[in-house]
Structure 1
Amino acid sequence: MDGVSPEFCTANQLWENVVDHNEPMVITLAAKQTMTVPIKTVQLTLYMENFEPYTNDFLVIDVPEDQDILLGMPWLKTTKPDIDWVTERVQPRVGQNPTELDTPPGKKNKKKKQESEDTPQVCGLREW
């Protein structure tokens, strides 16, 4: 699950793009606590330095530690980054272009490009 804070949605006037799925979702947190949240999503394209643009439906949810965006397994599986847990740095895997990993050689992923042109964009995220 990728998430975006309600405050970020307000600050960037994204509420008109938020889809309310009219059903609850049970989320299990790291400490095995569970919480129920309404399923509201917004499609965003995320731009991070040295990474390919990333487009996905982000769950509108309170994001911990005063951050705006929560990147989860969908982002990790798509970008396959190198993560240095000691220095808390995330960077693209050397020699791999994330867009090319899921696209057969010689074919461009036109659908992803079209989605990103029609999707609100997130730029300038703070480091964790």
Structure 2
Amino acid sequence: MAGFKILSALLLATLSALNASAGPIEQRQACVATCGSICYWQQSVDEAVDAGYELYQAGETVGNNDYPHTFNNREGFDFAVAGPYQEFPMLNTFDPYTGGSPGPDRVVFNTAGEYAGAITHTGAGGNNFVECE
């Protein structure tokens, strides 16, 4: 019986020490846009919109396709903000686009810099887009 009490006390002390040294648990971020199999967090979406809008305001573009450029919404997406719209690449490396291959994913923002949505060529036919989930 005494052995059980000692073992219980040791177990309780060990668990308490482990709990104290573990520190706070980090909260995992959730996907705000999933394009194909790529999960984009809010920070990545915001950075892409900010980079695209900054270029738009300066009248500058990057890359062979001159991003940002007008997004005509031929697919008829129902965005929460009014257009006109611009599109800008959102890279699966989670870095802001500065040129080179734009990849399949885009953020769409209006000319006031408001986020409209995320779209992708992944899963769409031809040069069309589908909305990211």
Do both proteins adopt the same fold according to a TM-score greater than 0.5, normalized to the shorter chain? no
TM-score computed with the length of structure 2 as normaliser: 0.25
Q: Which has the higher contact order (CA 8 A, sep 6+)?
A: 1
TM-score computed with the length of structure 1 as normaliser: 0.26
Q: Which of the pair is proportionally richer in strand?
A: 1
Q: Which of the pair is proportionally richer in helix?
A: 2
